Structure 1
Amino acid sequence: MTETHHPIVWLHHAGQHLGLVPTLGGSVAAWQADQPEGPVDLWRPWDGVTPDLYQLASFPMVPWSNRISGGGFTHDGRFHPMQNNRAGEPYPIHGDGWLQPWALTQPADDTLVMTLHSQVFQGNPHDYEAVQTFRLVDGGLDQHVQVRHLGAQPLPYGIGVHPWFPRTPATRISAPVQGVWLCGGDPMPVAHTTQFPPGWNLNEGVSAHGTLIDNGYTGWGGSARIEWPERGLQLTATMPDFERDGAAAQHYCLIYRPPQGPAFCFEPITQPIDAFHLPGQPGLRVLAQGEAFALNVQWRWGALPAGAR
């Protein structure tokens, strides 16, 4: 294993501990809550050694999330080529913000901010500024990711966050959704359906264990709940700008449930997988120079009701 020397910057507030790694993709090393038995990890913690971003607690996805097919995308009649950016991955994935160092500031005792100015990184077309704001509040974390387009020509943008959650044997995840994109031989979407495969219906709640899910859900209602019955603990996600940002018609989420391993992912995203090549480019926001948009998530943790244990 290759060692890394990226320092963790810690924020301690409201009975919680948040560790950020600005030099390693503007990522999160850990988010913990104080409990009588000691700190409990709400996101799967980084080991502090491996530089693989997939081993971090969370990382940002800007200026787009998930995969892009076709070697790039066309906008306003011009094709923009994009390079693959992860070993073993046949498509460009998760944007380029997670591949660059960010600058960190602390404007308040309860807040850390990371900022990135990315200018056509690795030949990508996007020239933008991204700002991540993390604020610890009583019972949770407010997470804000904003992207501002700096280039002269308008371009489509997307945002996502990629937290990893520890999974105990009884861990479950639930969320109001309307449909899901099915995939072919790889994770690229090939068909949309409102008939969920067995064990995939987030409306009913699904186990964090099982066969692979690596799929985007449509018509997300802007809330989600993760339950850890063995811990007597739950974590919820709420999108405070849900109605203003188009409600379910403009909200998407993604589940990554690998068959093995200690963690799974629930990802709030502003556009589905390969939106650049789907009809109408759903969820993507075309920004002119100076225009910005943001993704806001309110994470809240607390005791799991006794009847749900």
Structure 2
Amino acid sequence: MHPTGEQIDLVAGATRAVVTEVGGGLRALSVDGLDRVETFDVEETPPMGAGGVLVPWPNRIAGAAYTWRGREYRLDVTEAARGNAIHGLLRRRPWRVAERADDAVRLAADVDASSGWPGPLHVETTYAVTPAGLTVTHALTNTGDVDVPAGVGTHPYLRVGDVAPADCTLTLAADRVVDTDERMIPTGVRPVTPDEDLRGGRRVGDLALDTCFGAAPGPDGVLGVLHAPDGRATALWGDENIRWVMVFTPDDLAGRGRAVAVEPMTCPADAANSGQDLHVLAPGETWTVRWGISPGGTP
């Protein structure tokens, strides 16, 4: 058994993706012969969260504790250095294949109330490829009898083929930035300064970010584009639920050198405590979130 379980191959024209059973994550994606995300070996665990699905919250919950409807809940500390709970409950669990075709797979997993969350959620993530790229759809259903909060995020690292990410330029459709404390917990949101504004593009090798931005996409929904020097590009887009984008530029991604994660999120860190863009599902309600990756900025 591989660390990420069964490897599910998807193909449509010149688009190919590999989805993992464990974590329900994205291990590989290529379009037109170019890698569009950082991949990792089948015998590796995902480095630095690569490709993970972050449910029922993305990013961090301060002190692994929060209060919901007057009751305090405690979670396992999964970021030991800062004492936080990070990236949800499902990224290391096996998902079930609910439906499968050559070009799409629907995976399912469940969050139960005993995990430290206020109520149960049934989660389905569908990966679908076309010759134009990848679309990912997350559907969360409240299967309990009380209101349940939720957030969704994912953790792709973008690439443009074999071009070193450090030599690429990142543009980001974002006009606000989140300030944080030493635990990476938000202390406020403010407009970007000229030095922080990535709408005009910045070379990835000149960035040192582990920063959450407020999304401000145009009508096409494009959130971020990684541009190679020769003009080729990889774009990440999202629907109206994707209101925040985390940009993370580690110096070395498990021996691969500088990388750049562009992480679509429905809410910022610690939303379980702040309530910022935290979605609330009534009993029986389903909430759907979509995002995707394509060449050249066209979803």
So what's the TM-score if we normalise by structure 1?
0.83
Contact 1:150/1:289 (8 A) holds in 2: yes
Amino acid at match of 2:279: R
Contact 2:222/2:237 (8 A) holds in 1: yes
Which aligned pairs between 1:1-309 and structure 2 lie closer than 5 A?
4=3, 6-22=5-21, 24-35=22-33, 40-52=34-46, 54=48, 56=50, 58-86=51-79, 88=81, 90-120=83-113, 122-166=115-159, 167-196=164-193, 198=195, 200-221=196-217, 222-230=221-229, 232-239=231-238, 241-242=239-240, 251-260=243-252, 261-278=257-274, 281-302=275-296
**How far apart, in 1, do the equivalents of 2:258 and 2:266 lie?**
26
* Structure 1 residues 168 and 138, CA gap change in structure 2 (3 angstroms): same
Aligned residue for 1:96, secondary structure, equals coil
Shift of 1:114: 0.9
Amino acid at match of 1:207: R
Contact 1:160/1:295 (8 A) holds in 2: no
* Structure 1 residues 196 and 276, CA gap change in structure 2 (3 angstroms): farther
Amino acid at match of 1:118: V
Shift of 1:299: 2.1
Amino acid at match of 2:201: G
Shift of 1:49: 1.4
Contact 1:62/1:147 (8 A) holds in 2: no
Shift of 1:99: 2.2
So what's the TM-score if we normalise by structure 2?
0.86
Contact 2:151/2:267 (8 A) holds in 1: yes
**How far apart, in 1, do the equivalents of 2:68 and 2:243 lie?**
22
**How far apart, in 1, do the equivalents of 2:198 and 2:106 lie?**
32
**How far apart, in 2, do the equivalents of 1:89 and 1:5 lie?**
26
* Structure 1 residues 232 and 94, CA gap change in structure 2 (3 angstroms): same
Contact 1:10/1:17 (8 A) holds in 2: yes
1:155-207, CA deviations, whole angstroms, 9 ceiling, x for partnerless residues? 21101111112343321221222210112223212232214362x31222222
Aligned residue for 2:31, secondary structure, equals strand
Contact 2:122/2:143 (8 A) holds in 1: yes
* Structure 1 residues 265 and 102, CA gap change in structure 2 (3 angstroms): same
Contact 1:233/1:303 (8 A) holds in 2: no
1:6-44, CA deviations, whole angstroms, 9 ceiling, x for partnerless residues? 23121121212111111x211121111243xxxx21110
* Structure 1 residues 151 and 99, CA gap change in structure 2 (3 angstroms): farther
CA RMSD of aligned residues (A): 2.5
**Which consecutive residues of structure 1, in runs of 5 or more, have no partner in the other structure?**
305-309
**Overall identity of the aligned pairs, in %:** 22
Higher relative contact order (CA 8 A, sep 6+): 2
Amino acid at match of 2:265: I
**How far apart, in 1, do the equivalents of 2:261 and 2:36 lie?**
12
Aligned residue for 2:145, secondary structure, equals coil
Aligned residue for 2:165, secondary structure, equals coil
**How far apart, in 2, do the equivalents of 1:190 and 1:173 lie?**
26
Which contiguous aligned blocks of 4+ residues in structure 1 show a shift greater than 4 angstroms? 86-89
* Structure 1 residues 267 and 121, CA gap change in structure 2 (3 angstroms): farther
1:282-302, CA deviations, whole angstroms, 9 ceiling, x for partnerless residues? 211111221121211132214
Contact 1:159/1:294 (8 A) holds in 2: no
User: Across the two proteins, how many residue pairs are aligned to each other?
Assistant: 287
Amino acid at match of 1:175: L
**How far apart, in 1, do the equivalents of 2:291 and 2:192 lie?**
28
